[in-house]
Structure 1
Amino acid sequence: MATSGVSSTSSTPTNTGATIISSLGSGSGIDTASLVDKLVDVNKLPETNRLNTKQTLLQTQISDFGLLRSAFSKLETAAGALGNADTFNAKSTSVPNTTLLGITKLDAKASVGEYSINVDQIAQAQSVSSGNFSSQTATIGKGTLAIRFGSWNNAVDTFTVDSTKNGGTITIDDSNNSLVGLRDTINKSNLGVKASIVAEGSNFKLLVTGPSGASNEVEITATETPGALGLASFNFNQTTRSLTQQQEGKDALLRVNGMSLSRSNNHITDVIDGLEFDLFNKSTTETVNIGVTADKTIAEKAIRDFVSAYNTFLADSGKLIGFDKEKNEYGSLRQDPMAKNLVQQVRSQLNAAVGGLGGSFNTFASLGIRTELDGTLKIDDSTATTSFRSAMDKNFESVRDLFVPKTSSDNAQISVTKYTDKSVPGSYNVVITAQPSKGQLTAGAMVSTFPLDTTGKTYSFTAALDGIAASSITLPTKTYATGAELAADLQSRINADAAISAAKAVVSVVFNTTTQKLEFTSASYGSSSKFAITAASADMADMGISVATGTSGTDVAGTVDGVAAFGYGNVLLPALGSKAEGLNMQINAGATSGKITFSRGFATTFTGLIDNFLKTNGLIKTRETSLTKDVDKVKTDLTAVDRRSKSYRARLQSQFSAMESIVRSLKSTGTFLTGAFKALSASSNDS
């Protein structure tokens, strides 16, 4: 291993000592600079080599943890495909050439089967147009336009509101008081109504088009601001129809396997589960035959890809934590306990049974995927009953359940809608101790009888739904033939209120023919669900309506495995800290008890394990940070060695300098003594 920052020398303490003695004994002077360099190297070299070796190992380990991270990431990606339900629910379809329809979407949830489709009528939208306006920017009046949806009769003089559809109200003021302003306001209202301005000679007309469908025709009622009249020219209701109908609304009519169906638009999404198509034309003779079949090849490929990815992972990680035969050396992480532990956790997870699954298909081995002696996986493609081929062909549903998260309930009124990382797979007993309910208000008995004519009276009221206050609502001058018609009209007007619709609150109104009372019910569950009449004109007493608060709904209550759960609305949440924590259960009215089962599936558990290794504050990042700190520590130690070496060099230089001074002094004394002895010897000889 190469050593950086250190002078290379072959000196040893014995050789250096001999050189010093030789130099001292020679009497020819000492090369102190050379001796100092050699002594410093002898002192510094062992520590420097040790630190450089450690630094190189640490840097290699950081690099190899990066390779280990990459290997885990590739394995996680392969496992992720197995956690997608669509992988196991893939479908394929066959469609003949036709001008009647076109397939726009095929979901994995599509129902397998053969379907014959006849298109008898395509849907169209109602459109109404205004009278002529000489300018697009001339003022048109101020106030509000209330838009509701329903259906007009053939004579276009009787409108039946569709209480299941929410209309809305748009406001015309100084900011949009023009034909252009009205057009833009309608288009921005998100009501599904579109407006455009059509030029006719030197004049302009407003063309309003509703959503397609027979029950999506529009009713428009203007409420004008005194002193700024004009909006009445856009009325289109039973009392006043200032607009002209250009086209009626129609439903699409089709037959699927002989069953007659109607839909409000030509984009069909709910006739065949998971299959969506658009209608283009009708035909009295042509039948379109569509076949939907299961496609297991995608799931099989995903499983085989994972097995291949896992074997590659074992090979790649083995070179890092074991012996690399290609390089004929051990990996840098061979003695790193954490790296070896991470790989072992993955191997253990692969061989563990998937929690929450009953039956025999809960491990890889049960699918005919064996673990070899070297740890790699091998797919059994034989014809044996325990082979992978047999599992795919005969037990495909169980294969899917092994990989994909699954929730189930033995009571249709109790369903699991969500789970979290804290939810422990298994089965849990649920007992409902308090039923969820909706806020309600029952009006008094009807004073008037049907048909109810509102002419000459003021039927107005204000209401609050789920704590949301609505604006005052006034019923128009008309005749309600039945209580059902009155209920539908009230429901439509309340739900169309700007504040109510913005809050997505919904009320249903029905007329109880037995009690002759109107009943108002919030669509939401729980203690925050309520309906109240906050003000009412005197004439509303004819309908049994007066100021009243109604009855608030109740939150569901119950236990999960004997532990009290938290209820909000019709959602039951297991206690914090319990094994079932994080399982959201939707409880429908009437449920008393049931058993729910939750399995996270192999893929979700496996990818969750690897994600703990790879995330920004995960185990690998923590270890890399620790190694980086160790590298910095080694660099600090190398700097300290250099600093100590410099101090040692200075000390040696000082010592040799002192020694040389002494030697020079001794030599001078020796020379003096030699001269003195010579002089004494000469004097003695003379005498």
Structure 2
Amino acid sequence: MLNDDRAALNITVEASDSLQTIAEKINATDSGIQASVLRVDDQYQLMLTAPSGAGNALQISGSDPSLAGFEFNASSFAGVTETQQASDAELKVNGLTVKRESNEIDDVIGGFNFTLNKDSGGEKITFSVDEDRGIAEQAIRDFVDAYNSLYEAAQNLTGYSKDEENNTVRGDLATDGTAKTVLRQLRSLMGSTVPGVESGYNALTNLGIRTELDGSLSIEEDEFKAALNDNFDLVETLFARNTESGNNYVEVGVGTRSSGVVAGSYEILITQDPAKGLITGDVLTATEFDALTDSFTSPLDTSLGDFSFKVRVNGTESDTITLTGTYSSIEEVRSELQSLINGDEKLSAARASVDVSYDAATDAFTFTSREYGSSSKVSFSAAGADIGQLGINTSLSGTAGKDVAGTINGVAGFGAGEVLLPDLESDAYGLNFTVLPGASSQGAFSVGFSRGFAGEMNNMIESMLGKSGSIANREENLNDRLDDIATDREDLDRRMEKYETRLMSQFLAMERIISSLNSTGDSLDGILDRLPFTAQK
């Protein structure tokens, strides 16, 4: 039976292609099929290997008689040898039969993975899975020890301590306001309730973790053990991020901007459900189709006519898609249509795909885009002469999808497909809400968000150590002051140089004056002896 969850793989084979070329074309796709060329008895053969699982069984058809030797389907398989039939791994869990495509089982028991190594029918294996609370307990104890070490070191840096000789020593950051603020914030966080956790354990003190007078933390053992043994889920809620939704049709997600979300409860009202684009074909008119029984009275051989078409999905037009097989039931046609459309190269490249369904009440196929939103649309842009027998023609009118619409705390959100985003300026910005059809019928409801103690502490550390954090700002201010000091030094050097130059000029001028005075003094020396009418004793 065709697996319509698997898109059809289409390979164009040229007349000049060798087996190796064909293998390379297959391996170049992302279908999961591996091709290789083997030499067997002096002949070369093409071997194809599909992923494990019954749903991945291969069926090969060719559109040209020259490719008949490669065909492997219900009507043509003489030239191909099946060396290993596809099958699922099968096991029973608590009496229920479980089948999976792989021997790696990771979705049967939540959080538990195991591998099937051999068939052991009748052999029963019993095991139990318990939470490893010891890891959580040790992590909390390690946190308390690490905080106490940090707090002691910070106290010594921002306060006063005694050295080995019992002398009082002032810390290097004793006068730094930023360092003291950081220490106060850390201490405050240890005793605060966690925003968004409205019941149960919402503070470290609920676990028996106490803040002592000196600011360090201690653990009250009996209370701590009782919390881990009796209320482990509440302990997890206290420390880890948690989201809750009061509407089963709405899932709360956390985006990359979650650090800015204000923890707490938000009221949401979905005013428009998301919808997918779709188009419904006309009533089937193939002579082999019996509308009363919704079945074929004889096989439909599409190779006898032009059963080709082009489909446009979400704005991307496919290449020409052609049905060439023989089909015995409506389900086979439906499955083949879905597989061929989703296997089209252009649609696959654009990540556009559809689900094809058949409605017995209208005797028609419906083609529904797998995307929600206003850009979700399906239409037919070309139709062969005979594809109309299956209800496909270019005159069909489809229905476009819809984006979700709603409000968060009374403020309109932004709908993109099935995702509703809060307003950029709102407290909820950073959350996202994935909405399924039917959510609007539930009326207003609440969602809750808590980043937990670990998240709140991480936010605080980020506010301290981040690029725009308090420590970075303090470093920037100190660097700015150092730059200012360097500038002041340069200004002082220039002023000193000018002052020195001025003093030198004044000193030289003074020297010239003194030299002139000395010369004048020398010329006056003995002048009295040379004056007439003077007498000496």
TM-score calculated relative to the size of structure 1 = 0.69
Deviation at 1:664, TM superposition (A): 6.6
User: Are positions 1:459 and 2:297 aligned together?
Assistant: no
Bigger shift: 399-408 or 568-577? 568-577
Relative to structure 1, the CA distance from residue 637 to residue 184 in structure 2 (aligned partners, 3 Å threshold; closer, same or farther) is same
Residue identity matched to 1:453: P
Deviations 1:28-55 (A, max 9, x none): xxxxxxxxxxxxxxxxxxxxxxxxxxxx
Find out whether 1:318 has 2:318 as its counterpart.
no
Aligned match of 2:454:
603
**Can you list the C-alpha shifts for 1:416-473, whole angstroms capped at 9, x where unaligned?**
0224233211111221211211112222222232325333333222212222212222
Does residue 508 in structure 1 map to residue 355 in structure 2?
yes
User: Aligned partner of 1:213: which letter?
Assistant: G
Residues 1:403 and 2:239 are matched in the alignment: yes
Q: Is the CA contact 1:534–1:549 (under 8 Å) kept in the aligned structure 2? A: no
Contact 2:190 2:211 in 1 (8 A): no
2:454 maps to 1:615:
no
SS of equivalent residue, structure 1 residue 223: coil
TM-score by length of 2: 0.87
Listed as ranges, the matches of 1:227-626 within 5 Å are 230-241=66-77, 242-326=79-163, 328-381=168-221, 383=222, 387-419=223-255, 420-448=258-286, 449=289, 450-451=295-296, 453-455=299-301, 456-481=304-329, 483-547=330-394, 548-591=396-439, 592-593=442-443, 594-626=445-477
Matched residues in 2 for 1:542 and 1:223: separation? 21
Q: Partners of 2:26 and 2:253 in 1: how far apart?
A: 37
Q: What displacement does 1:585 show?
A: 0.6
Partners of 1:380 and 1:673 in 2: CA distance: 110
Aligned mates of 2:425, 2:486 — CA distance in 1: 47
CA distance in 1, matches of 2:505, 2:8: 96
Separation (CA, whole Å) in 2 of partners of 1:596 and 1:484 = 42
CA 1:251–1:658: 2 relative to 1, 3 Å = same
Structure with larger Rg: 1
Q: Is contact 1:459-1:540 (8 Å) kept?
A: yes
- Alpha-carbon spacing, 1:545–1:365, altered in 2? closer, same or farther (3 Å): same
Cα distance in 2, alignment partners of residues 285 and 213 from structure 1: 22
C-alpha displacement of 1:629? 3.2
Q: Paired residues, what number?
A: 511
Code of the residue aligned with 1:179 in structure 2: it is: L
Residues 490-516 of structure 1 show CA distances to partners (whole Å, capped at 9, x for unaligned) of: 111111211222333221112222222
What is the CA distance between 1:318 and its match in structure 2?
Answer: 2.2
Contact in 2 for aligned 1:454/1:476 (Cα 8 Å): no
Could you tell me how far apart the structure 2 residues matched to 1:295 and 1:674 are? 121
User: Structure 1 pair 636/590, CA: closer, same or farther in 2 (3 Å)?
Assistant: closer
Deviation, 1:641, is 5.0
Task: Return the offset for 1:552.
Answer: 1.0
CA contact (8 A) 2:285 2:389 kept: yes
Secondary structure of 2:55's counterpart equals coil
Indicate yes or no: 2:62 matched with 1:222. yes
Higher mean displacement: 644-653 or 556-565: 644-653
Q: Which residue of 2 aligns with 1:208?
A: 48
Which segments of 5 or more consecutive residues in structure 1 lack a partner in the other structure? 1-159
Deviation at 1:486, TM superposition (A): 1.9
Change (3 A) 1:665 1:315: farther
Q: Distance in 2 between matches of 1:626 and 1:534?
A: 65
CA contact (8 A) 1:170 1:189 kept: no
- Output the CA distance in 2 between the equivalents of 1:396 and 1:667: 108
CA distance in structure 1 between the partners assigned to 2:387 and 2:148 by the alignment? 77
Q: Does 1:628 align with 2:479?
A: yes
Query: Percent identity, aligned pairs only?
Result: 36
Q: Distance in 2 between matches of 1:673 and 1:329?
A: 78
Distance 2:517 2:312 in 1: 112
Q: CA deviation at 1:182?
A: 1.3
Name the SS for the 1:291 alignment partner: coil
Partner of 2:292: none
Gaps of 5+ in 2: 290-294
CA distance in 2: counterparts of 1:541 and 1:556, whole angstroms: 34
Q: Residue 219 of structure 1: SS of its match in structure 2?
A: coil
When the two chains are superposed, the root-mean-square deviation of aligned CA atoms in Å is 2.9
Contact persistence 2:158–2:180 (CA under 8 A): yes
SS in 2 for 1:313: helix
| 1:235-255 residue CA offsets vs partner (Å, 9 max, x unmatched) | 223343232222211221212
